[in-house]
Amino acid sequence: MGGLTVLHECLVTLPHEDFTYLGDAARLPYGPRPLDEIRRFAGEIAGYLEQDGVKLIVAACNSATAAALPELQERLEVPIVGVITPEAHAAVQTTRNRRIGLLATEATVQAGRYEELVRTLDAGARVFPVACPRLVPLIESEEPFGAETAAAVRQYAQPLKEAGVDTVILGCTHYPLIRPILQRVFGRGVRLVFSAEETAREVAETLDRKGIENDSAREGVARFLTTGDPALFKALGERFLQLPISEVDRVSLAELEAAAA
């Protein structure tokens, strides 16, 4: 579901492009899973989309990007854009004291990609990662803005406050939905960085650079696929996308596995 926050920005930035969104609801959540397993899932999804004829893939999941992006970029014929590099770049540009916090899933923290990218951009900057296993289930619950979510945010924010960070990367595509809670806990003196706008900008630049963008005069369409319950995806998905979803089709795990074979 979290990737829909990225799709929202892509739809706004690139209204003339067509999008196919595949949400792997049957195997959620990715965050607590081993990196090898996430890598396999991402490979299946990317293979399915490539066979479907897409011209570019966005890995709209931080855990999948952290676990699989380099391997997918080597294997796929179509370009693939992840959500981590744009965030790392934005964080380095934003921080004033070179102390950057990271709130993310366990898999993303374990992969260490943010630290690598930040060090490449600024060897003097430090990243303070905090895994937040409670946040995704709470954000997908019926009360995403309730007291339990606020308490979890305060718990995860405390070590970053103690570290004196002035910039925090929201290293999961779910987290922008509770940005008001996060900003209140951290205060206005801390800048929050998240992937959606930066990723949409990178998608636009990649399409332009490769000369594969659509005519800007046309109106694009979006279709939605899920490995889970289409009705549940539609109901919850509209909250994340902040736009209506007319129809959702189901893709079986067997179809994804066949695409990777």
Shared domain for 175 and 163, answered yes or no, is: yes
Which residue among the candidates 4, 38, 49, 61 is catalytic per the annotation?
61
Task: Give the Cα separation of 170 and 94 in Å (integer).
Answer: 14
Confidence of residue 261 (pLDDT cuts 50, 70, 90): confident
Confidence of residue 195 (pLDDT cuts 50, 70, 90): confident
**Contact call for residues 240 and 4 (beta carbons, < 8 A):** yes
Confidence of residue 198 (pLDDT cuts 50, 70, 90): confident
Residue 47: domain span: 3-82+197-260
Told to judge if 61 belongs to the known catalytic residues of this protein, a careful annotator would answer: yes
Shared domain for 188 and 203, answered yes or no, is: no
Picking from 156, 177, 195, the residue at the C-terminal end of a domain is 195
Which residue among the candidates 1, 4, 72, 172 is catalytic per the annotation?
172
> Rounded mean pLDDT of the chain?
95
- Average pLDDT rounded to a whole number, residues 170-189: 96
Shared domain for 166 and 245, answered yes or no, is: no
Shared domain for 222 and 179, answered yes or no, is: no
**Contact call for residues 95 and 193 (beta carbons, < 8 A):** no
How many distinct structural domains can be found in the chain? 2
Told to judge if 172 belongs to the known catalytic residues of this protein, a careful annotator would answer: yes
